[in-house]
Amino acid sequence: MMLHIPNVLTREQVRQMRAAIDAAGWVDGRATVGAQGALVKHNRQLPEDDPVALEQGRVILQALAANAQFFSAALPARHMPPLFNRYTAGETYGLHVDGAVRRVPGAAPWLRTDVSSTLFLCDPEDYDGGELVVVDTYGTHEVKLPAGDLIVYPSSSLHRVEPVTRGERVCSFFWTQSMVRSDAQRGMLLELDQTIQQLRARLGETDQTVALTGHYHNLLRMWADV
């Protein structure tokens, strides 16, 4: 399941975030990948423990906590702290799959990566190339969104970032461990939730919407791993 969530950050939040991270110290992006990823990754990142990255990551997580669409799609249990990357002329990240588990910095438990998210911090006209390309059973999907918009997709998907040929692509990216580890089950719950919301908007609260809401929560209760 891929989902575009618009306006996770406002234009002013993006402006303030870019002012903060643009002035920070960027390093080789290969610092946060394994041996296989290092062969195809050519970009820059803010270090995981950079104070600016940590502070701006908290801004993103606060925005996500207030976003009902993200909650419905990801059903988040835990997040990795958001990271920040930058691509300029010729930089790219070849086809790869995200690691299944990651360790949260400064914490003992491992986090299972169920949902990957990319938050765009620049507009499509700011750069050429740089599309996020996600490959799944339904084909190949190219993503290039306005600043402040988010794309979520299964972490099990193969994906790549096309070479940037002009300008600069700046994004935040992070992983979420979902309460429901199956992407198929999360997709069913999202569709059911969206259908309930649409029926409520059209008909108000009815016996049928109450019954469907009960089915939604019973399925979540059955599938949730908490």
Q: State pLDDT tens for residues 162-177.
A: 999 999 999 999 999 9
Same-domain check for residues 215 and 163: no
pLDDT at 8: 98
Give the ranges where 23-113 is alpha helix by DSSP (H).
35-38, 51-65, 68-74
The answer to whether residue 224 scores a pLDDT higher than 70 is yes
How high is the mean pLDDT of the chain?
95
Same-domain check for residues 54 and 99: yes
pLDDT at 138: 84
Same-domain check for residues 132 and 69: yes
Where residue 38 falls among pLDDT bands split at 50, 70, 90? confident
Count structural domains, the chain: 2
Domain of 159, in residue numbers: 3-178
- Direct distance between the N- and C-terminal alpha carbons of the chain, in angstroms, rounded to an integer: 22
Q: Of 69, 51, 66, which Cα lies nearest the Cα of 13?
A: 66
Same-domain check for residues 86 and 172: yes
d(CA 178, CA 213): 20
Q: Look at 25 and 39; give whichever has higher pLDDT.
A: 25
The answer to whether residue 30 scores a pLDDT higher than 90 is no
What is the SS3 assignment for 8? coil
Q: pLDDT, tens digit, for every residue of 131-151?
A: 999 998 889 999 999 999 999
3-state helix, strand, coil in the chain (%, to 5): 35, 30, 30
Same-domain check for residues 49 and 124: yes
